[in-house]
Structure 1
Amino acid sequence: MVSGAARALACAVLITAIGNGLYLAGAVLFLTRSVGLSGTDVGIGLTIAGVAGLGAGPVVGALADRFGAREIYLVTLTAEALATGSLVLVHSFAVFVVVAAAVGIAEQGSRAVRGALIARIGGDARARLRGYLRSVTNIGVAVGAAGAGLVIRSDTRTAYSALILVDAASFLLTALIIARIPGQRPLPRPERTVRPDRLDLPFLAVTAIFGVLSLQYAVLTVALPLWIVTHTAAPAWLVSPLLLTNTVLVVCLQVRAGRGVESIADGIAITRRAAVLLALGCLLVCVSGAGSPVFAVTVLTLAVIVHTLGEIGHAAGEFEMSFALAPEHAQGRYQGIFGMGTGAFIAAAPALLSLICIAWGPVGWILLGGILLSAGLGIGPTARWAQRRAAHLVDA
């Protein structure tokens, strides 16, 4: 993780994350206040973009396996720059849908290829490298979001357009850095390997479990803010410091959590513990609505800390499993499949959690905790099944 290639990749990820922080904080306001789209239009367009991008991961990942991860990553970064920059040309809902779909496809393709590149650069420490990059990403997004505040304050089309173009430029700058990483030849398919690319049910099952666990990412960004303002006596401004607490903990603890995860058995253990913590966090949120403002603030703060520890463990287990259970010569394709599976659940999470946790109240939080706990407890037999399948692919 201290190699020159790893440092270059970390620098590239930081730049991309800063651009993404700008985009996440200001893009919706640009589309509504400057372009004139309605909030519903933006929501529909972004949903379409997410769906369009889901299938890109496995396809682009397979190209990375065939032609080299670095080379294909340069292509996807350039595509991201062009697609993102095209947002400044949006003047109608139809054009927005087309451009947003292009952004979604390029973004999902980049994620899959980046996973394959991490696998090659990181070697045996690939999961730890990915954990480090997650901490770097959180720092970058926070910096970008803070910078977007200046744009939002001015609230002009020129400022919003500049924000979008700076984000687009961040991908080009990232590409320049990635170009300095030495290219690596694609790994050949072992002669005796059974084709794993068509249907690997055990790996898909592991992907589904981590997809279910990925519902937790919408807890702090969607469900908790809505819960605070509709079901508790806590002040609405509490949302911001709670999110900041989550970010700081992830930055400080993600790398440390990944240091002890060096095998599938380690991944199983930390994922189980993470599921228990996530379920406990849901129960704490559930009881936060039954007390005074002081009680609510105290319990919600504790809930976010517990939830974040679960989130960190979930990520550490996910990184190890997604790499260790994939054939070395097909890391790009498998990372794309894994990303497509978890991405589908993440896309569905806001609507699902709004129904379960907000409309159903405390019962919904208990149900969500049970779902997350069940998924975590199911990872053991499922991962071992996938491990046996992976061994069979090589030994057959």
Structure 2
Amino acid sequence: MHLPEGPARTLTWAILITAVGNGLYLAGVVLFLTRAVGLTGTSVGIGLSIAGLLGLGAGPAVGHLADRIGPRTIYLVTLTAEALATAALALVHDFGAFVVVATVVSIAEQGSRAVRGALIAQVGGRGRAHLRGYLRAVTNIGVAVGAAGAGLAIQHDTYTAYLALILADAVSFLLAALVIARIPPCPPVRGVDDGRGIRRGRLDIPYLGVTGVYGLLSLQYPVLAVVLPLWIVTHTTAPAWLVSPLLLTNTLLVVCLQIRAGHRVESIADGVTITRHAAVLLAGGCVLFCASAAGPPIVACLLLVVAVIVHTLGEIGQAAGEFELSFNLAPDHAQGRYQGIFGMGTGICVAAAPALLSVLCIDWGQPGWILLGGVLLGAGLAVGPAARWAQRTSAHLVDA
């Protein structure tokens, strides 16, 4: 992995810093809230779900501000907001306060995500989809490092140790803001106030169609983190310790292959093709997960390893196609708003996925895996028609 040059390199360092902080946060926040604050696991799950849903609408609104003022300036604001909101978790002592603070965290996070997409579009230029793929690999590295570091604090199992994880994440946002401040201000792209762009940002039905299709494909993201551990311990003869190396395999493959996959996507047509192939792989992974419920432990282990590899290759391909289409089917003068819309659409599906997939794959078992595979395959096949519809109705598009 070679660092990009100029502002893209600065952005890379900032995202790596926040990724390490997020790794600390993800590994420790639930334990902080349950073991240090005293909330129940169920209440934490409910609170995070409420906060996640309430925060989804922030993306388009904050993205619109980025289009009007400039993404670099607004990103500094959202990073600062994330730092303050995350630090405020230290003041939480009951469920009500937790929901309020978690909602503010979610709003700031969704806003940052939309603005970050707009900043990537400006900094990356024509190579913005490649840059986003590179940053996804960097993010995986950072999260893995942060999660590993969190293990040291978790071993102490004290209020101070868990609080340190939360505050370290807050500090990471401030450090990232200092790094982002080194990027020259990015002026708004001309055309942001032309009326047509505002109307299309709200009512671009073809773009919303593409967003919906990728939202369905995004149901696959919680499969490894949420469904796989439960599946292994409740439906297979494989040992529970296999979960950790399987998740590590996923991370390593994304780090090693995401950039290479992105370089294969040079146009919307390429994005459609790689997404279609990814859907086939994701459906195949579902079949393999389904098959792992039968047979002795060694067979179950082998099937699970192959399933995770196949699933991860599909995940990588989907991400590469998603980056290409989400950027290049959006007008340059409204990237912030469109990235916010895209993130909100996929975010809704990701938020609903844990509950939905738990019913499909854990409660229903093998038939649920087959149904999920069919949904993913159907969504992949629908990307082509959806993208062509968006191209036909988007006068701003320059087809690569």
TM interval, shorter chain, is over 0.9
Aligned 8 A contact 2:18 2:173 in 1: yes
**What residue is the counterpart of 2:220 in the other structure?**
216
Match for residue 238 of structure 1? 242
Indicate the larger mover: 152-161 or 17-26.
152-161
1:198 aligns with 202
CA contact (8 A) 1:193 1:393 kept: no
Which of 120, 125, 128 is equivalent to 1:126?
A: 128
Paired position in structure 2 for 1:348: 352
Aligned counterpart, 1:99: 101
Tell me by how many angstroms 1:192 deviates: 9.2
Aligned twin of 1:117 = 119
1:318 to 315, 322, 326: 322
Alpha-carbon offset, residue 52 of structure 1: 1.3
The number of equivalent residue pairs is: 394
In 2, distance between residues paired with 1:389 and 1:14?
37
5 Å matches for 1:151-230? 151-189=153-191, 193=196, 195-230=199-234
Where do residues 241-260 of structure 1 align in structure 2 (5 Å cutoff)?
241-260=245-264
Could you tell me which amino acid in structure 2 is paired with residue 266 of structure 1? D
Distance 2:82 2:396 in 1: 38
Q: Distance in 2 between matches of 1:224 and 1:10?
A: 31
Length-normalised TM-score, structure 2: 0.97
Q: What amino acid is the match of 1:375?
A: A
Alpha-carbon spacing, 1:392–1:75, altered in 2? closer, same or farther (3 Å): closer
Q: Which residue, 41, 63, 68 being the options, matches 2:65? A: 63
- Deviations for 1:118-175, whole angstroms, at most 9, x for unmatched residues? 0000001000000000000000000000010011111111111111111000000000
Q: Partner of 2:388 in structure 1?
A: 384
| Whole-angstrom distance in 1 between the partners of 2:393 and 2:264 | 25
Q: Deviations over 1:230-281 (max 9, x none)?
A: 1111001110000000000000000000001011100000000000000000
Q: Considering only aligned residues, what root-mean-square deviation do their CA atoms show, in Å?
A: 1.3
Given that residues 67 and 186 in structure 1 are in contact (C-alpha distance below 8 angstroms), is that contact kept between their aligned partners in structure 2? yes
Q: CA deviation at 1:189?
A: 1.0
Offset at residue 391 of structure 1 (A): 2.0
2: CA distance, partners of 1:261 / 1:392: 20
Report if the CA contact (8 A) 1:151-1:163 is conserved.
yes
Unaligned 5+ segments in structure 1 are none
The equivalent position to 2:144 in structure 1, one of 142, 145, 154, is 142
- How do 1:353-364 residues align onto structure 2 when only pairs under 5 Å count? 353-364=357-368
Indicate the residue corresponding to 1:4 in structure 2.
Answer: 6
Give, in whole Å, the separation in 2 of the partners of 1:147 and 1:192. 49
Do 1:138 and 1:251's aligned partners in 2 also have CA atoms closer than 8 Å? Answer: yes
Q: Please tell me whether residue 26 in structure 1 is matched to residue 28 in structure 2.
A: yes
Letter in 2 for 1:318: E
- CA-CA distance at 1:3 after TM superposition: 2.3
The Cα shift of 1:198 comes to 2.5
- Secondary structure of the residue aligned to 1:110 is helix
Runs of 4+ aligned structure 1 residues displaced above 6 Å come to none
Change (3 A) 1:392 1:114: closer
Q: For the residues of structure 2 that align with 1:142 and 1:71, how far apart are their CA atoms?
A: 29
**Superposed counterparts of 1:271-290, under 5 Å:** 271-290=275-294
Distance 2:299 2:40 in 1: 38
SS of the equivalent of 1:182 reads coil
Q: How far did residue 390 of structure 1 move? A: 1.5
Letter in 2 for 1:317: G
Once the two structures are superposed, residues 49-92 of structure 1 have per-residue CA deviations (whole angstroms, 9 ceiling, x without a partner) of 10111000000000000000000000000000000000001111
Q: Percent identity?
A: 73
Bigger CA drift: 74-83 or 158-167?
A: 158-167
Structure 2: runs of 5 or more not aligned: none
For residues 120 and 94 of structure 2, the distance between their equivalents in structure 1, rounded to whole angstroms, comes to: 38
Match of 1:183, SS state, is coil
Q: Which one is further off, 186-195 or 205-214? A: 186-195
